[in-house]
């Protein structure tokens, strides 16, 4: 090892005080200062075998950019980063680093790993504040046209990689703003929308064309993208956007939302600014969010910011099984979220105007592990209880939107309705059509969607050079 | 068409607002009745694809709400779609105050499933109020497929009857009803339907579109005689792509997303009272937003 180990713990991330931030949408974590960043970067021992890189699905040259920060060569670090990742400010904020790059960090064996994500964010923000741009010479146009369906992290990554190779890329997005979950799902206080817009603008700088308001399957079908619009390959990155509701009485009462609707109203439509903006939202006083993942955590913290007196998170297993990031659970608790573990709703009760007035729940105990390896929750008979609430948000998972499936019969799906695609290349059973991200894996992470995008871009590039019918 | 149309589409959609985005310009505007306006909007890619029964979602400006509006007609030559809009709240009134030459920030579609029209089918199309704007393209579609159209157009009063010339052009027979008797038959659309039935007109299907109480009343009338009845539902929507679930209604005991599974359903299976309640979800906020644009409603609607 090249260097001696210094500071053993991560340089703390500066945050707004919980009491202050819990009622506003400003970003919770305010970001490293220059000195914080240099101090943290200095912890990296520059391992010869560079294990951290293997933990990053987009293969950022982590040791190099960290060493550059340690030497205060911030511009160099920016170029190293952007070379592999067009969305560094986003990844630095929302990547589950603890399961990715940082998990592989040598330092992590005995101490805290290097705070790779925080350093990534620092550089991305530092560069944006100084308006640095990557001035890559425009590649020679290849004349090949590729359509990308969906502008979430998977679609954005494919588009960037293909544009850098000189292909002519158009992204079709159903909503009026690109970004996918980054735009409509993840709240402002965790990922400011101006940052998403900024990183997408950088992508457009590479020559990527974005067409919002185009629902593929309706405005054009996949077949029409080939036959009428002359695209030679299509990448489908439409995400897992179909919300699930449990089969219990009362789910259609007023004041019952899917997390998608609740978050879309708040984030994409900016309902938290109503009536300055036109989209309304039910502002609950006593809110229950059902679920234990990032989506549930984002919803319950949104409820607090929209003025809830009580914001409950109701999860049917115990804390150990909660899929949300530990850091987010901590933040939520600091803000005053009340977590009700080992409980699940059995009915939602309404008043005479069909508005939610209460929720009936049942207590659970953990039984044997299920297919996912987590202990299965089982109901405890006779343990039902009622809680007075006026807003219920379900964040209990989602499935594949059927629009593309219904209009593209020769695209093969797996049993869960997701597109059947090769993991290494994104190739599907339909000639010239590739897929990646949540529409293939089911709800996963930003970085895994980006990784799938990167792999598909390589395969699409190869396909464009040699589009044999059985060339996949 | 192939080869020509795409260039037209891609050539016409450039804008400074959002590189690669489209401009949805209002080509013409005409007032059809009090607070009801018809717009023709430049949207060639939607005009080409739309079928009867489908709708678009529009967002007027950066702070605007997304609202669904039925595609009332399409002109392929001009690459335009028609929207018939009743000013009832902030968004629709703001829209109705726009003029030819103005543009709408976002228009997305065509959304929803097209009406299923069997060739040669005999249909009674009922349009109550603004529902006529939805009933007309369906009636035209039935006619185009060699079917027979009987139509009932209902309105509160004579000044609110819309699309009569259009309906007349595609219907074999039609009745106008007004609640106050100021024009046509005095009564509700159900009485128009009863009149046809009394005359012995035979239908394979009734398609009823209008305010919820009207659609419900038609269904109550057709249920006992076993006359299949399709209704077009109008829940509150956000995305229109099946992503939020806000538009869900109970049909035959199952929860359906109107934007992707509908908007048309078997009227005899729809839980109307649930839908009626869900439409009141934002009453207070709508009133607050409307108060803001009271000045708009007071402004004369130009043509
Ligand atoms: C609330 C929430 C919080 C999350 N938090 C985190 C987190 O902290 N960290 C993390 O790593 N992951 C998080 N995730 C998961 C992560 O956001 C997703 O795994 C990731 O966004 C998937 O990317 P994607 O590109 O596959 O699809 P998406 O981001 O879902 O984007 C798909 C896009 O395709 C568009 N689209 C869909 N159908 C069509 C069509 N027919 N035509 C045109 N466009 C279409 C959609 O409108 C959307 O914009 C979170 C998810 C949610 C919902
Ligand atoms: C598939 C579909 C097709 C539609 N087609 C048309 C059309 O062609 N022309 C047209 O004028 N309208 C149509 N509508 C209704 C239109 O979307 C609403 O009138 C509009 O959203 C109201 O917005 P606002 O901001 O102007 O009024 P708001 O302030 O939101 O509401 C004002 C009043 O209208 C009522 N209202 C709100 N939303 C709806 C709704 N979805 N349906 C009925 N009443 C509502 C409210 O309860 C309130 O009393 C359609 C709706 C759907 C779902
Ligand atoms: S993109 Fe994610 S996984 Fe890769 S280095 Fe950054 S934080 Fe780690
Ligand atoms: S594993 Fe950790 S310490 Fe080693 S090079 Fe990577 S970031 Fe630095
Ligand atoms: S409007 Fe969101 S699912 Fe139908």
Query: What CATH number corresponds to the domain at position A351?
Result: 3.50.50.60
Q: Work out the pLDDT band at A466, boundaries 50, 70, 90.
A: confident
Name the residue of chain B whose CA is nearest to A181's CA.
B243
What is the Cα–Cα distance from A193 to A179, expressed in whole angstroms? 9
Residue with tokens 């990554």: A157
Considering the domain architecture, whether residues A109 and A37 belong to the same structural domain is answered as yes
Residue ID of nearest Cα to ligand 3 atom 5: A56
How many C-beta atoms lie closer than 10 Å to residue B283's C-beta?
12
| pLDDT value at residue A402 | 86
| CB within 8 Å of A224: residues ≥ 6 apart | none
Compute the average pLDDT of residues B97-118.
94
Residue closest to B69 by CA, chosen among B105, B95, B35, B103 = B95
Residue with tokens 């489209």: B22
Is B296 near chain A, with CB under 8 Å? no
Position A284 in a domain: yes
Considering the domain architecture, whether residues A99 and A191 belong to the same structural domain is answered as no
- Residue-wise pLDDT for A272-307, tens only, equals 999 889 999 988 899 999 999 999 999 999 999 999
| Weakest mean pLDDT among A140-154, A362-376, B175-189 | A362-376
Q: Which of residues 334-353 of A touch B (CB under 8 A)?
A: 353
- Residue-wise pLDDT for A38-57, tens only, equals 999 999 999 999 999 999 99
Q: Is A52 in the pocket of ligand 3 (CB under 6 A)?
A: no
Considering the domain architecture, whether residues A249 and A314 belong to the same structural domain is answered as yes
Name the residue of chain A whose CA is nearest to B279's CA.
A254
Considering the domain architecture, whether residues A405 and A418 belong to the same structural domain is answered as yes
- Residue-wise pLDDT for A329-369, tens only, equals 999 999 999 999 999 999 999 999 999 999 999 999 998 88
B4: three-class secondary structure by DSSP: coil
Considering the domain architecture, whether residues A366 and A335 belong to the same structural domain is answered as yes
Query: Could you tell me if A259 and A394 are in contact, meaning their C-beta atoms sit under 8 angstroms apart?
Result: yes
Residue with tokens 């097209």: B114
Considering the domain architecture, whether residues A327 and A384 belong to the same structural domain is answered as yes
How many C-beta atoms lie closer than 10 Å to residue A125's C-beta?
18
Contacts of B244 in chain A (CB under 8 A): 243, 258, 260-261, 264
Higher pLDDT, A48 or A134: A48
From the list B63, B244, B280, the residue facing A276 with the nearest CB is: B63
DSSP label at residue B252: T
Name the residue of chain A whose CA is nearest to B288's CA.
A275
Q: Assess whether pLDDT exceeds 70 at residue A465.
A: yes
Exposed, middle or buried, A121 (CB in 10 Å: 0-12/13-18/19+)? buried
Rounded to whole angstroms, what are the CA distances from A174 to A127, A461, B57, B63, B67? 31, 25, 11, 18, 15
Strands B36-42, B24-33: pairing kind: antiparallel
Higher pLDDT, A468 or B74: B74
Residue ID of nearest Cα to ligand 3 atom 7: A117
Q: How far is CA A470 from the centre of its chain?
A: 34
Considering the domain architecture, whether residues A263 and A389 belong to the same structural domain is answered as yes
Residue with tokens 């987590």: A374
Q: Work out the pLDDT band at B234, boundaries 50, 70, 90.
A: very high
Q: Work out the pLDDT band at A471, boundaries 50, 70, 90.
A: very low
From the list B21, B241, B292, the residue facing A401 with the nearest CB is: B241
Q: What is the mean pLDDT of chain A?
A: 93
CA atoms within a 13 Å half-sphere pointing along the CA-CB vector of A237: 36
Cβ distance B238 to A261 less than 8 Å, yes or no, reads yes
Residue with tokens 């099984």: A321
What is the Cα–Cα distance from B84 to B96, expressed in whole angstroms? 10
Compute the average pLDDT of residues A158-168.
95
Cis-peptide, bond into residue B184, ω within 30° of zero? no
Residue closest to B41 by CA, chosen among B89, B4, B85, B94 = B85
| pLDDT value at residue B11 | 34
Q: Separation of A216 CA from ligand 1 center, angstroms?
A: 16
Considering the domain architecture, whether residues A177 and A215 belong to the same structural domain is answered as yes
Considering the domain architecture, whether residues A342 and A324 belong to the same structural domain is answered as yes
Q: What is the mean pLDDT of chain B?
A: 87
Position A471 in a domain: no
Which residue range(s) make up the domain with A176? 145-241+400-465
Position A13 in a domain: no
Q: Which of A101, A129, A157 is the last residue of a domain?
A: A129
**For a substitution probing ligand 4, which of A53, A105, A111, A119 has the most ligand atoms within 8 Å of its CB?**
A105
Cis-peptide, bond into residue B110, ω within 30° of zero? yes
Considering the domain architecture, whether residues A389 and A409 belong to the same structural domain is answered as no
Is the pTM higher than 0.90? yes
Considering the domain architecture, whether residues A371 and A421 belong to the same structural domain is answered as no
| Weakest mean pLDDT among A8-17, B7-16, B219-228 | B7-16
- CATH number of the domain that residue A87 is part of: 1.10.1060.10
Q: Work out the pLDDT band at B294, boundaries 50, 70, 90.
A: low
- Residue-wise pLDDT for A81-116, tens only, equals 998 998 999 999 999 999 999 999 999 999 999 999
DSSP label at residue A417: S
Cβ distance A175 to B239 less than 8 Å, yes or no, reads yes
Contacts of A245 in chain B (CB under 8 A): 245, 248, 255
Domains of chain B, CATH where assigned: 7-111 (2.40.30.10), 122-279 (3.40.50.80)
Q: Assess whether pLDDT exceeds 50 at residue B298.
A: no
From the list B46, B90, B278, the residue facing A278 with the nearest CB is: B90
Query: Could you tell me if A301 and A289 are in contact, meaning their C-beta atoms sit under 8 angstroms apart?
Result: no
| CB within 8 Å of A137: residues ≥ 6 apart | none
Q: Which of A129, A153, A179 is the last residue of a domain?
A: A129
B88: three-class secondary structure by DSSP: coil
Return the sign of the alpha-carbon dihedral for residues B95, B101, B104, B105. Answer: negative
Q: Assess whether pLDDT exceeds 50 at residue B37.
A: yes
Position A72 in a domain: yes
Contacts of B262 in chain A (CB under 8 A): none
| pLDDT value at residue A7 | 85
The total of structural domains in chain A comes to 3
Q: Assess whether pLDDT exceeds 50 at residue B21.
A: no
| pLDDT value at residue B204 | 94
- Residue-wise pLDDT for B262-273, tens only, equals 999 999 999 999
Residue ID of nearest Cα to ligand 3 atom 8: A101
| pLDDT value at residue B18 | 33
Q: Work out the pLDDT band at B302, boundaries 50, 70, 90.
A: very low
Q: Which of A350, A374, A397 is the last residue of a domain?
A: A397
| pLDDT value at residue A336 | 94
Q: Is A91 in the pocket of ligand 3 (CB under 6 A)?
A: yes
| pLDDT value at residue B15 | 34
Give the start-end residues of each E strand in A191-270: 209-211, 233-236, 242-243, 256-258
Considering the domain architecture, whether residues A285 and A387 belong to the same structural domain is answered as yes
Position A11 in a domain: no
Report the greatest alpha carbon distance in chain B. Answer: 59
**pLDDT above 70: percentage of residues in chain A:** 99
| CB within 8 Å of B8: residues ≥ 6 apart | B44, B79
Query: Could you tell me if A123 and A41 are in contact, meaning their C-beta atoms sit under 8 angstroms apart?
Result: no
Q: Assess whether pLDDT exceeds 90 at residue A327.
A: no
């Amino acid at each position: 090892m090249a260097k001696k180990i210094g500071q053993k713990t991560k340089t703390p991330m500066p945050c707004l005080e919980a009491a202050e931030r819990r009622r506003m949408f400003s970003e919770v974590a305010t970001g490293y200062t220059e000195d914080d960043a240099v101090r943290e970067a200095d912890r990296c021992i520059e391992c010869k075998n560079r294990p951290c890189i293997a933990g990053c699905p987009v293969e950022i040259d982590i040791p190099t950019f960290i060493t550059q920060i340690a030497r205060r060569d911030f511009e160099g670090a920016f170029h190293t980063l952007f070379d592999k990742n067009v969305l560094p400010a986003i990844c630095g904020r929302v990547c589950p680093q603890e399961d990715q790059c940082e998990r592989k960090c040598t330092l992590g064996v005995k101490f805290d790993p290097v705070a790779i994500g925080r350093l990534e964010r620092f550089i991305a923000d530092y560069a944006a504040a100084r308006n640095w741009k990557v001035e890559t010479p425009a590649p020679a146009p290849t004349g090949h046209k590729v359509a990308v369906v969906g502008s979430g992290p998977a679609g954005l990554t494919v588009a960037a990689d293909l544009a850098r190779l000189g292909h002519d890329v158009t992204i079709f997005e159903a909503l009026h703003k690109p970004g996918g979950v980054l735009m409509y799902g993840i709240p402002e206080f965790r990922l400011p929308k101006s940052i998403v817009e900024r990183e997408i603008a950088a992508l457009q700088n590479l020559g990527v064309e974005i067409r919002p308001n185009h629902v593929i399957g309706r405005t054009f079908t996949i077949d029409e993208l080939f036959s009428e619009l002359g695209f030679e390959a299509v990448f489908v990155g439409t995400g897992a956007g179909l919300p699930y509701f449990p089969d219990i009485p009362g789910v259609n009462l007023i004041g019952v939302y899917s997390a998608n609707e609740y978050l879309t109203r708040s984030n994409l439509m900016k309902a938290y600014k109503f009536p300055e903006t036109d989209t309304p939202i039910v502002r609950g006083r006593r809110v229950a969010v059902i679920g234990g993942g990032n989506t549930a955590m984002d919803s319950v913290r949104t409820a607090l910011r929209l003025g809830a007196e009580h914001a409950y998170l109701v999860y049917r297993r115990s804390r150990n099984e909660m899929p949300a990031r530990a850091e987010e659970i901590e933040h939520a608790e600091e803000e005053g979220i009340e977590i009700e573990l080992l409980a699940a709703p059995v009915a939602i009760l309404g008043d005479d105007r069909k508005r939610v007035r209460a929720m009936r729940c049942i207590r659970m105990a953990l039984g044997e592990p299920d297919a996912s390896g987590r202990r299965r929750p089982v109901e405890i008979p006779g343990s039902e209880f009622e809680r007075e609430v006026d807003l219920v948000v379900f964040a209990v998972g989602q499935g594949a939107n059927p629009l593309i499936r219904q209009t593209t019969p020769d695209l093969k799906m797996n049993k869960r309705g997701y597109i059947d695609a090769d993991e290494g290349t994104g190739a599907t059973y339909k000639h010239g059509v590739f897929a990646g991200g949540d529409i293939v894996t089911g709800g996963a992470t930003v970085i895994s969607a980006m990784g799938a995008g990167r792999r598909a871009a390589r395969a699409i590039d190869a396909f464009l050079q040699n589009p044999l019918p059985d060339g996949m | 068409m192939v080869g020509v149309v795409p260039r037209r589409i891609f050539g016409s959609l450039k804008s400074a607002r959002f590189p690669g985005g489209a401009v949805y310009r209002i080509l013409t505007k005409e007032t059809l009745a009090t607070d009801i306006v018809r717009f023709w909007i430049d949207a060639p890619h939607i005009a080409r694809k739309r079928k009867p029964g489908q709708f678009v979602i529009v967002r007027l400006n950066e702070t605007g709400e997304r609202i669904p509006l039925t595609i009332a007609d399409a002109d392929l030559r001009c690459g335009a779609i028609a929207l018939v809009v009743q000013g009832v709240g902030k968004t629709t009134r703001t829209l109705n105050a726009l003029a030819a030459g103005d543009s709408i920030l976002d228009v997305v579609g065509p959304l929803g499933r097209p009406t299923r029209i069997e060739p040669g089918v005999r249909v009674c199309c009922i349009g109550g109020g603004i529902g006529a704007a939805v009933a007309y393209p369906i009636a035209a579609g039935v006619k185009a497929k060699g079917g027979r159209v009987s139509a009932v157009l209902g309105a509160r009063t004579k000044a609110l009857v819309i699309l009569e010339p259009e309906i007349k052009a595609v219907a074999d027979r039609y009745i106008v009803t007004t609640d106050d008797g100021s024009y046509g038959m005095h009564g509700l659309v159900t009485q128009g339907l009863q009149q046809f039935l009394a005359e012995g007109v035979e239908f394979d299907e009734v398609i009823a579109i209008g305010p919820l109480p009207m659609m419900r009343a038609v269904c109550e009338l057709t249920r006992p005689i076993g006359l299949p009845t399709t209704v077009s539902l109008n829940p509150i929507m956000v995305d229109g792509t099946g992503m939020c679930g806000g538009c869900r209604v109970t049909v035959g005991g199952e929860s359906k997303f109107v934007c992707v599974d509908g908007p048309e359903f078997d009227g005899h299976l729809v839980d109307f009272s649930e839908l009626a309640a869900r439409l009141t979800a934002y009453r207070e906020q709508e009133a607050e937003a409307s108060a803001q644009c009271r000045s708009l409603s007071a402004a004369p609607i130009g043509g």
